Amino acid sequence: MPFTPPRRATTLLLAVVGGLLVDAGFPGLSWWPLTFVGVALLFLALGRDSARWNALVGLVHGLAFFLPHLTWVQGSVGMIPWVGLSVVEAAFVAAVGAAWAWARRGAVIWSAARYQVPVFALLWVAAEEARQVFPFGGFPWGRLAFSQADSPLGRFAWAGGAPLVSLLVVVLGVLLAIALLSLRRVDVGAASGHVLLGAAVVGAGWLLPLDTAAQEGHLEVGAVQGNVPDRGLDAFQQQREVLENHVAGSYALLDRVAPGELDLVVWPENGSDIDPRVDPAAGEAVLGAARALDAPLLVGTQEFPETGGRLNVAQLWDPELGPVDSYAKQHPAPFAEYVPFRDLARRFSDAVDRVSTDMLPGDEVGLVELESGRLGRTVGLGDVICFEVAYDDLVRDAVQAGGEVLLVQTNNATFGRSDESTQQLAMSRLRAIEHGRATVQISTVGVSAVITPSGVTTQRTGLFTAEQMVASLPLRSELTPATRYGDAVAWVLRVLGPLTVVAGVAGARRTPRSARVAPAERATERVR
């Protein structure tokens, strides 16, 4: 039966619905199977041969996803930055649409679904990898892998990290799309085969050996969510009260543990925006809490170097010695913690001036060394601050450097009661699986959580509450395949994606244009 490419209006409708369904797979709905359906609809929408049109389809899909996914940006810094960021991120999906039109023009890829499935997935992951580094250091929020913390597919992070999980999500989406095209041809057998193959990929996640046992003992940890007096961008104008909230939360731990029972107490990012190393009252308050608990305190604070700027840091305070180690955030968030092209940006939004002092990047790996008297050794704490959990290399470097647990210190106060905090929690859960490390996400206002090395949340706080958590974290030194080889896997995927475009363009010279009218539909006839 001859295949007619979808109408242009139909492709745009499929793109919009697909983008909305992909977003529904993320927190807060967390209906992760809908992510596959959304990708399938995008694949079907990209059925025309025009690279320009497919770029438009990809842009529409990207906007339908990113605008609702990033609504918390609008609530914190305004509409123009929200729309601008969404457009920039959607442009990467537009690039996937155009690249797919070029890649599939080669006769080999065009004629068989078994080639189209991996090629489309490789293009998507290459775009996600590009979003990690460009522009302004990248913004990888909304990677498909981050929708799969509750899915068996999420367990594949142990084998190949977030890039492998995203790749498999797209593979399943394309298999579903080809199954739908087979049904259109009334080929129930082919449709069933593709669905069963997809189900087998999902089920294979349960076969991966996620080990959660302690290898180097346990770390007894308390985590303090102190809450803030107000929400929004002005929450931390009352810095002293925020500090007092976290001090009070630390003393509240004594209702659950005796002094000396904890190896470490963790505060969130911005738990004290007053640097306790230079403010005597703040230093006395932090040191007093550490001494009362007889446990070191990891404090999220800011430092202001004499050369200018500021650093977002985690300071480790020993009950007797005071500050003994620290980690400075390596990847400040553009337009939130520092403002590129400030004069130009001010023309679009005066909210940029709320960031009065630009944050500087730290230059050391996120490893804090804790001298544990109970364990009789130095324990490596893998530490990332806030959005850093979204970046593969920063988390991987912390574990490779000796991190035996992961700590994600974050401040979600400026995002209100949006899905931002739960989106971030999904990332922390995936990182726990990826590196086989028990993980604590601790926020000023929530959501905070304790996560097992297999990604299971065992404790979780509410939003805008003052709460504490106590947990015994298994310490692990074994490196997962993703920790060992994740960077190599990512580079292979980054290279293969563009190569498929080059191969497609070269192959198109040998393929008559009249033969390039029915991509996936024709491919269903050639599956073996």
* Residue listed under structure tokens 């009789």: 376
For residue 437, which amino acid is it?
R
Q: Exactly one of 269, 337, 388, 521 is catalytic; name it.
A: 269
Q: Exactly one of 220, 329, 420, 434 is catalytic; name it.
A: 329
329 a catalytic residue: yes
Buried b / exposed e along 189-201 (16+ C-beta atoms within 10 A): ebbebbbebbeeb
Whether the Cβ atoms of residue 490 and residue 129 lie closer than 8 Å to each other: yes
* Residue listed under structure tokens 């553009």: 334
Question: Which backbone phi and psi does 26 adopt, to 5 degrees?
Answer: -95, 165
- Backbone Cα Rg of the chain: 24
Going by their DSSP bridges, the two strands 264-266 and 218-225 should be labelled as parallel
Cis peptide before 135 (omega within 30 of 0): yes
The span from the CA of 399 to the CA of 416, in Å, is 31
The span from the CA of 516 to the CA of 256, in Å, is 69
* Residue listed under structure tokens 């202001």: 304
Q: Exactly one of 386, 388, 404, 521 is catalytic; name it.
A: 386
Q: Residues 4, 9, 11, CA angle at the centre, nearest 5°?
A: 65
Whether the Cβ atoms of residue 300 and residue 267 lie closer than 8 Å to each other: yes
The span from the CA of 98 to the CA of 54, in Å, is 5
The span from the CA of 458 to the CA of 460, in Å, is 7
Whether the Cβ atoms of residue 417 and residue 462 lie closer than 8 Å to each other: no
Nearest in space to 327 (alpha carbons), one of 401, 258, 256: 401
Burial (CB count <10 Å: 0-12, 13-18, 19+), residue 247: buried
Question: Among all residues, which ones are annotated catalytic?
Answer: 269, 329, 386
